[in-house]
Structure 1
Amino acid sequence: MPKSALAIGRFRRHPVKKEFIHLHPFDTVERLRIGVFEYIEVYYNRLLIHSTIGYLTPVEFEEEFDKKGDRAA
């Protein structure tokens, strides 16, 4: 499954509506898309730590995973 499809699945289950969308009025769909992209790529994936992956950010977790060489070919 492509990473973008996984991100969409996580996004649907994530309280992003409460944390982001409902707090920021968007006047166009394009501005909403840009805002959600920035929220996920900047805040959620790079700054927000997650308890389920050892209190790392998703980016840090993937970097650690890649260093271990555990990724299947």
Structure 2
Amino acid sequence: MTRGDHLLTSSHGSRSGSAAYRSHIEDLLNQGKVREAMATEIRDVRRAALEGSGDLRKYNSALKEMLEYARRTDFLE
């Protein structure tokens, strides 16, 4: 991910709302809602890519690789 896109993610640093966003993701994971947490993060990555570079699909191949790995290792059913 480019630095510019990373800066636009909801979880980045001390950006407004970032602590609450990270807490929300942590809560989902603690509740075993891995699929929901991953879906939330995927939407956020796509939003950041769209805002940063105008390309919603910029990270699709990396996201696909992540999902394939999660399924292959039974992390995600």
Q: Please, what TM-score do these two structures have when normalized by structure 1?
A: 0.33
Which structure has the bigger radius of gyration?
A: 1
Q: Please, what TM-score do these two structures have when normalized by structure 2?
A: 0.32
Q: Which of 1 and 2 has higher RCO (CA within 8 Å, sep 6+)?
A: 2
